Amino acid sequence: MTSTAGVARRVPSGTLLAKDIGVLATFSKEIGEIPDGAIYVKGNVIQWSGPTASIPAEYTTADEVISLPDRVVIPGLVNTHHHMFQCLTRCIAQDSKLFGWLTTLYYAWVHMTGQDVYVACKLAMAELILSGCTTTSDHLYIYPNDVKLEDSIRAAREIGIRFHPTRGAMSLGESKGGLPPDSCTEDESVCLADMKRLIEEFHDNSRYSMLRMGLAPCAPFNVTNNLMVEAARLARKYPGVRLHTHLAENQEDVDYSLKVYGCRPGQYIKNVGWEGDDVWFAHCCMLDENEAKQFADKNIGIAHCPSSNLRLASGIAPVRRLLDAGVNVGMGVDGTASNDCGHMLAEVRLALLLQRAGGSVEAMEAREALSVGIGGGARNLGRDDIGQIAPGFAADFVAWRTDSVGFAGAGKDPVAGLLYCTPSIGFVDLSVINGEVIVRDGELLSLDLKALIKEHMEHSEKLCAHLPAWWKTGKKP
């Protein structure tokens, strides 16, 4: 079937050798961390990684050779929760919790067009790539005017990021007891038909796939139980299609579930058939101990979004307790209207520091936090082909310079320095995604970033003109 979302990027056919790497952190238990390391790539797959001095004879030459002294290299970070369209509306409802924040922003979002979403997604993806992310999901749950999921898919294919779009939906408007205005919702039959169409047109479950679909009814407070049940049934007809939504984000969220459904989040997901290893939920700040055990027993994943949770005063997910219970935890930047930043490495840094806020330095250490942001994310998305710089894995890796002001004095452990030191607010020096160099010398090669920012600002200004007069606080008079 011919796609309306642009032609998929060609898989590189050549070879790439990255060598002289200051410190190569492979996140492979067998290979470990290597000073003066090297990586050999053929096409889009890593063939070998190890010390530069030990490069096998057949890997000493390549179509492209990159020397990376004074760099620390890690596998690409994996973002497992985002609403990319929201970067058009940053810094709105600054003093409001989740429900007030949402009801303010609906005034703008209902006016979005497909071009708005395309430009927003491209900007959000650029921010992610520059901050060390090579694979990302996105949760697009509002489809006003001519908006289609293809708008985000086209952006991903053009910029070159590994993409897991989810077809979101809102079907429960104010008139039926939901949170969003009816103008932001869709008929459930329309949602399900489009979900099926998108899976059959775009989902690629092959190894090293650049695009896999997910289904994501938005949240318990804006969809019906029927849509949750039917989306799960649909997804499970297709190998590799996963399920995603928000859950237990804050106390308002839990209170709504108790009032409307008569149960806590754990029972709610059981009622609608969302217990399974093909499911991951965003936030989960308010899970109790029984629910943590339920998640571990059913292999359900969580996307931890610390900046957004703090910004909206939602709480802090008990990541240490969840990990100890055996729950898989990945990272998410969440929408850049509730963060209001899409910097992936900074999100991992915050996750590390927040777990120590309770007074225990053992609550999390740097490599564990990076592991959550890399391997935890890969598992959330059902991937066993990303997350390590090792033979047979996709060629997704990023490099930061260590000869910068922020790294000065951190030479004893530059891997930990990625989180403890100020480079976390900077951008990568190199990004390779699917074997293709996407960032070189700190410059994003797949688009004109200055032109994109200018266009994005124009779209943002036009959209934000629809906000109510009380937009800053998010508190309706």
SS (H, E, C) 217-236: ECCCCCCCHHHHHHHHHHHC
Q: Which residue has 């979900």 as its token pair?
A: 195
**180-186: average pLDDT:** 94
d(CA 129, CA 220): 31
Sign of CA dihedral 102, 103, 104, 105: positive
What does DSSP say about strands 279-283 and 242-247: parallel, antiparallel, or unpaired?
parallel
Q: Report the candidate in 56, 70, 81 with the shortest Cα–Cα distance to residue 306.
A: 81
Give me the phi and psi of 406, to 5 degrees please.
-65, -30
For residue range 272-301, what is the model confidence (pLDDT) as tens digits?
Answer: 999 999 999 999 999 999 999 999 999 999
- How many residues belong to the chain? 477
Q: What is the CATH number of domain 15-76+387-444?
A: 2.30.40.10
Residue predicted with more confidence, 201 or 423 = 201
Task: Using the predicted structure, report yes or no on whether residue 431 has a pLDDT greater than 80.
Answer: yes
CATH C-level class of 77-97+112-380? alpha beta
What mean pLDDT comes out for the span 135-148? 98
CA count, 13 A, side-chain hemisphere, 111: 14
Task: Round to whole Å and give the CA distance between 164 and 209.
Answer: 10
Q: Which of 72, 84, 25 is nearest to 332 (CA)?
A: 84
Domain ranges of the chain: 15-76+387-444, 77-97+112-380
pLDDT digits (tens, 9 = 90+) for 185-242: 999 999 999 999 999 999 999 999 999 999 999 999 999 999 999 999 999 999 999 9
Per-residue pLDDT at 3 exceeds 60: no
Question: Among candidates 71, 72, 76, 74, which has minimal Cα distance to 125?
Answer: 76
What are the strands, taking DSSP E only, across 119-241?
A: 133-140, 162-169, 214-217
| Whole-Å CA distances, 205 to 40, 75, 213, 242 | 25, 21, 9, 11
Q: What 3-state DSSP class applies to 449?
A: helix
For residues 138 and 166, the answer to whether their CB atoms sit within 8 Å is yes
Alpha helices in 91-144 (DSSP H): 98-109, 114-130
* 121 vs 405 pLDDT, higher one: 121
Query: What is the reported pTM?
Result: 0.97
User: What mean pLDDT comes out for the span 148-153?
Assistant: 98
Pairing, β 279-283 against β 301-304 = parallel
Asked whether the beta carbons of 339 and 312 are under 8 A apart, the reply is no
